[in-house]
Structure 1
Amino acid sequence: MLTSKDIIREGHPTLRKTAQEVQLPPSQEDQKTLEDMLDYLKNSQNPQIAEENDLRPGVGLAAPQINVSKRMIAVHFEDEGVSYSYGLFNPKIVSHSVQQSFLTAGEGCLSVDRPVPGYVPRYAKIRVKATALDGTELDLRLKGMAAIVFQHEIDHLNGVMFYDRMSESEPFSIPEGAVAVER
């Protein structure tokens, strides 16, 4: 079982690398790693399991965050009554809106142990293609919090941290026409 101790923190070189594509079909090791990542998120959102195992709650996790430089992400959350629970190999944003959005509460990260106040501009709508844990090809159209979570995790695969996208001089500046997303 993955715990918070398995998650590397900002400053670790793996978080700044571009992750490698996963060979498909995935190896048993890659399959197990991705299943463990999804289990971490589910366990971290269960108050009893999280407390017993000292798990920091999260809605998304990318393989580089557990020091595995491969293009795998897991997400587990609900947004506007829709459940998103996926382990994905080689997720790719294939199209996106011009309009931007941001989380009004700002973003956090399991690899960042400090608050980073400010808004993170993201695309308001994205389309993601990926291979699911069960081998099916997915084509997801996402907006709102779902689009933001997926972009955050895919950024990790490219060595990008959420605060890289914030304005250094004005962290609370709102991109023109951006949609505010509550969580």
Structure 2
Amino acid sequence: MAELLSVIELGNPILQQRSHPVMDVRGDRIQKLITDLILTVRNANGVGIAAPQVAQTDRLFIVASRPTPRYPDAPEMEPTAMINPRILAHSDEVAKGWEGCLSVPGIRGLVPRYEAIEVEYTGQDGKLYRKELNGFVARIFQHELDHLDGLVFLARVESIQDLMSEKEYQERIVQANGNFSSKE
């Protein structure tokens, strides 16, 4: 049965550590962690969550894009476990987009990310997948991959002017634009 996990927050040293490769993808511990992460990200209205955010040092994250109060225009997709993920190639085009993080509550940042990426990861079924991701889903992948490398989105923000509170973001960006992805 899935268990709701506690999300650790900025300042916890686990968020600054590089995660370890998963060796036993089909093992009970990893399979339960995947189930628990999916429940946790849904419960938190998130669109992605990485194992380090629940104090686990496995190279594993969930991409779970869907419209939520935090990301009302996010595309719909099934939650997908991505184990030992990596970026194989990326576009030259970089775009800034607003990001938040379950481990950095109350803050949004305008973060530059590649618009398109080619990725490889092992799925929950143990098979190797290779996909091209674009736009918002590519942004989620890059955000979660940063967690596996010990980074939070604040490390990617180019200027203090690119930060704002969640309240200001909701009032100024979401309500004014009717979307999540105000780009500069």
Match of 1:91 in 2: 85
Match of 1:67 in 2: 55
TM-score under structure 2 length normalisation: 0.78
Q: Which residue number in structure 1 is paired with residue 124 of structure 2?
A: 133
Q: Is 2:142 aligned against 1:145?
A: no
Task: Using the TM superposition, give the Cα deviation of residue 164 of structure 1 relative to its aligned residue in structure 2, in angstroms.
Answer: 0.5
Q: Distance in 2 between matches of 1:161 and 1:82?
A: 24
User: Aligned AA for 1:126?
Assistant: I
Q: Which residue of 2 aligns with 1:154?
A: 145
CA RMSD after TM alignment: 2.0
Which residue in 2 is equivalent to 1:182? 181
**CA distance in structure 1 between the aligned counterparts of 2:81 and 2:51, rounded to whole angstroms:** 11
Match of 2:103 among 102, 111, 114: 111
**Structure 1 letter corresponding to 2:142:** Q
Q: State the SS of the aligned residue for 1:120.
A: strand
| Alpha-carbon distance in structure 2 between the residues aligned to 1:162 and 1:25 | 27
**Contact preservation (8 Å) 1:73, 1:87:** yes
The one-character-per-residue Cα deviations of 1:97-141 (angstroms, maximum 9, x if unpaired) are: 1110222xx11000012223x410001111111111112211110
Q: Partners of 1:81 and 1:171 in 2: how far apart?
A: 24
- How many residue pairs match? The answer is 158
Q: Which amino acid aligns with 1:77?
A: S
Q: 2:175 corresponds to which residue?
A: none
Distance 1:80 1:114 in 2: 19
One-letter amino acid of the counterpart of residue 159, structure 1:
G
Q: Is the 8 A contact 2:65 2:74 kept in 1?
A: no
Q: Name the % identity.
A: 34
Q: For residues 81 and 152 of structure 1, do their structure 2 counterparts lie closer, same or farther at Cα, with a shift above 3 Å needed?
A: closer
Secondary structure of 1:114's aligned partner: strand
What is the TM-score normalised by the length of structure 1?
A: 0.79
Unaligned runs of 5+ in 2: 67-72, 164-179
